[in-house]
């Protein structure tokens, strides 16, 4: 894969300035690099003071670090975005329909489109959800769809995040920071706003209030606490929505409701936006060791006493093994062909695929089915022989644990470096809200960028950064 074939979102493949970047380019040409360098430092200071940090796991001391922020916006044209939105909405509807089906009649299995064992043997499948329909019929109140681009009109879904997708606070803070630092850029470009996200989130959650709710729904955000890597985001969202940020030990089941301990006694919660994993949600129903959850919350949930967002068990829809079935899933529930393409995927559980993957390890990206955050994966083209051989052993030992995909020529966008603009690979995570009132997609999303030249790994835990993402009004 040569750099020449790579699609750059500013310069295309033929060094001709693309439309969405024209205003930006004329602004940038008149800018002084020194001033921009100062702006870059200023941005870091803003983030540090605001405490927009994440904690790195696996270190002795809980360390707070900044996610590097790049000041050059990523710009997407309105019509490009509209097309993406159609695909995202279709996919999210299919995911919800799939979840409802999987936990109820399982038509898709009866129809032979998804094999029984993909569900029954899947750790992400929660038997506790069988026969249960969440309030409003919504399973995934908040979804993040990770997209990559390889050409002007070619987008692929890299993965679906249907559990508790994170990063939305960076989308909002990145925009805030850009508005403060480069107001003139926003005067020259008509950028679609993202600031309504918290209000929309709250409305969307409130619209899914449970049957037991009488009066205006009480919403709360459940966090594992200040040492969690995404604590900043939890506090940020609770703050922006104007709701309480609670931890497990603030909650208990009182009179058949989940209630939070206030200075005036226990007060029931109607909708809980939880940012802890299923396994920790309820020590009585799941992991008995969990101190982060609420004993008995699942029983309240099943009795219609509370809405849990996202619903427990949604992981079955964003599992990497299920991912390869998504085109079928979309077609099955919507009756249409999937608008957004999947990355071609080999399921290593299938002998033929495994053989192919083992023969082509140096060309492929191999991922753990249940992994996330860029841990435990192999990127063939950038790995050493030794790394590949070690991975081969792991893969042969537990093939069912892995999927493989071709290395895509991810698009690049410019970042600001000491010597000016330089292209780096990016992905995009748009954020989607679902409620009975409809599906709401915030224009833009979180752009993650690999700061190392040529690198394809954009995860913040692996040294990636973020950018503000603009969708222009056409």
Partner 1 sequence: MLGKTANGLYWMSRYLERAENTSRLVETGQRIGLTRLGQDDDEWASVMRSASVLAGYEEHHDEVTKDAAINWMLREKANPASVLSTISEARQNARMVRTALTHEVWEAINGCYMAVKDALARKVSERDLPAVLGLIRQRTALVRGATHGTMLRNDIYDFTRLGTFLERADATARILDVKYYVLLPSAFAVGSSIDNVHWETILRSVSARGGFRMAYGSQVNARDIAQFLILDKRMPRSLNFCATKIHNNLSYLGADYDTPPQSSLMAKALVDRFMNHDIEAVFDYGLHEYIQTVLSMLSKLGQQIEKDYRFYE
Interface residue list for partner 1 (CB under 8 A): 48-51, 226, 231, 235-236, 238-239, 243-247, 249-250, 260-265
Nearer to partner 1, 238 or 329 (CB): 238
- The DSSP-derived string for 410-427 is --EEEEEETTEEEEEEEE
Q: For strand 402-406 and strand 364-368, is the pairing parallel, antiparallel, or unpaired?
A: antiparallel
Report residue 322 CA to chain centroid gap: 17
**Shortest CB 280 distance to partner 1, Å:** 18
**Shortest CB 172 distance to partner 1, Å:** 13
Beta carbons within 10 angstroms of residue 251's beta carbon = 23
CA dist list (Å): 296 to 254, 258, 302: 10, 9, 10
**Shortest CB 220 distance to partner 1, Å:** 9
Q: For strand 154-161 and strand 431-435, is the pairing parallel, antiparallel, or unpaired?
A: unpaired
* Cβ contact 358:379 at 8 Å: no
- DSSP secondary structure code for residue 443 in this structure: S
**Shortest CB 167 distance to partner 1, Å:** 18
Nearer to partner 1, 122 or 240 (CB): 240
- Report the candidate in 349, 380, 352 with the shortest Cα–Cα distance to residue 364: 380
Q: What residues does 467 pair with on adjacent strands?
A: 70, 447
**Shortest CB 227 distance to partner 1, Å:** 10
Quote the CA–CA distance of 17 and 38 in Å, as a whole number: 26
Nearer to partner 1, 49 or 397 (CB): 49
- Report the candidate in 69, 39, 75, 41 with the shortest Cα–Cα distance to residue 188: 75
Nearer to partner 1, 247 or 282 (CB): 247
Quote the CA–CA distance of 454 and 425 in Å, as a whole number: 7
SS3 of the chain: helix, strand, coil, percent, to 5:
35, 25, 40
Q: What residues does 12 pair with on adjacent strands?
A: 8
Nearer to partner 1, 37 or 267 (CB): 267
- Report the candidate in 434, 443, 416, 437 with the shortest Cα–Cα distance to residue 172: 443
Tell the burial category of 72 from Cβ atoms under 10 Å away from its Cβ (0-12, 13-18, 19+). buried
CA dist list (Å): 372 to 147, 162, 357, 362, 469: 15, 13, 20, 21, 23
**Shortest CB 298 distance to partner 1, Å:** 23
**Shortest CB 219 distance to partner 1, Å:** 12
**Shortest CB 65 distance to partner 1, Å:** 14
- The DSSP-derived string for 78-120 is HHHHHHHHHHHHHHHHHHHHHHHHHTTT-HHHHTTSS-HHHHH
**Shortest CB 110 distance to partner 1, Å:** 47
**Shortest CB 149 distance to partner 1, Å:** 35
Q: Is the dihedral of CA 105, 110, 114, 118 positive or negative?
A: positive
**Shortest CB 261 distance to partner 1, Å:** 5
Nearer to partner 1, 66 or 339 (CB): 66
Quote the CA–CA distance of 405 and 345 in Å, as a whole number: 5
């Amino acid at each position: 894969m040569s750099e020449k074939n790579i699609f750059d979102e500013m310069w295309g493949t033929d060094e001709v300035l693309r439309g969405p970047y024209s205003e930006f380019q004329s602004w940038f040409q008149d800018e002084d690099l020194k001033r921009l360098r100062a702006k870059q430092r200023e941005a870091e200071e803003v983030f540090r003071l605001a405490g927009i940090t994440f904690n790195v796991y696996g270190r002795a001391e809980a360390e707070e670090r900044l996610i590097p922020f790049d000041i050059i916006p990523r710009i997407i044209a309105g019509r490009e975005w509209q097309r993406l939105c159609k695909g995202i909405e279709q996919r999210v509807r299919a995911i919800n329909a799939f979840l409802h089906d999987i936990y109820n009649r399982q038509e898709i299995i009866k129809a032979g489109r998804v094999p029984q064992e993909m569900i029954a043997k899947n750790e992400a499948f929660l038997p506790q959800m069988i026969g249960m329909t969440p309030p409003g019929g919504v399973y995934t109140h908040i979804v993040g769809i990770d997209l990559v681009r390889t050409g002007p009109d070619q987008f692929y879904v890299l993965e679906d995040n249907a559990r508790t997708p994170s990063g939305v606070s960076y989308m909002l803070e990145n925009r805030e920071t850009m508005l403060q630092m480069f107001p003139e850029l926003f005067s020259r470009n008509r950028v679609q706003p993202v600031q309504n996200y918290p209000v929309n989130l709250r409305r969307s959650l409130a619209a899914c209030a449970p049957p037991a709710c009488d009066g205006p729904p009480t919403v709360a955000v459940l966090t594992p606490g200040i040492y969690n890597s995404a604590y900043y985001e939890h506090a940020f969202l609770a703050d922006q929505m104007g709701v309480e940020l609670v931890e497990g030990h603030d909650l208990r089941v009182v009179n058949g409701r989940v209630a939070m301990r206030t200075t005036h006694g226990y007060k029931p919660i109607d909708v809980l936006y939880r940012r802890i994993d299923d396994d920790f949600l309820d020590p009585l129903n799941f992991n008995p060791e969990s101190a982060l959850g609420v004993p008995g919350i699942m029983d309240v949930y099943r009795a219609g006493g509370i809405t849990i967002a996202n619903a427990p068990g949604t992981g079955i829809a964003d599992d990497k093994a299920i991912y390869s079935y998504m085109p079928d899933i979309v077609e099955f529930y919507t009756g249409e062909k999937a608008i957004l393409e999947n990355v071609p995927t080999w399921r290593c559980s299938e002998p033929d695929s495994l053989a192919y993957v083992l023969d082509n390890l140096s060309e492929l990206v191999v991922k753990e089915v249940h992994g996330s955050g860029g841990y435990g994966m192999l990127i063939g083209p950038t790995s050493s022989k030794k790394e590949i051989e070690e991975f081969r052993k792991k893969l042969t030992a537990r093939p069912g644990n892995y999927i493989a995909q071709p290395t895509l020529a991810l698009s690049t966008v410019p970042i600001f470096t000491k010597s000016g603009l330089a292209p780096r690979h990016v992905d995009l995570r748009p954020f989607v809200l679902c409620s009975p009132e409809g599906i709401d997609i915030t224009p833009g999303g979180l752009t993650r960028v690999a700061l190392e030249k040529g690198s394809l790994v954009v995860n913040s835990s692996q040294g990636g950064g973020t950018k503000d993402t603009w969708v222009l009004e056409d």
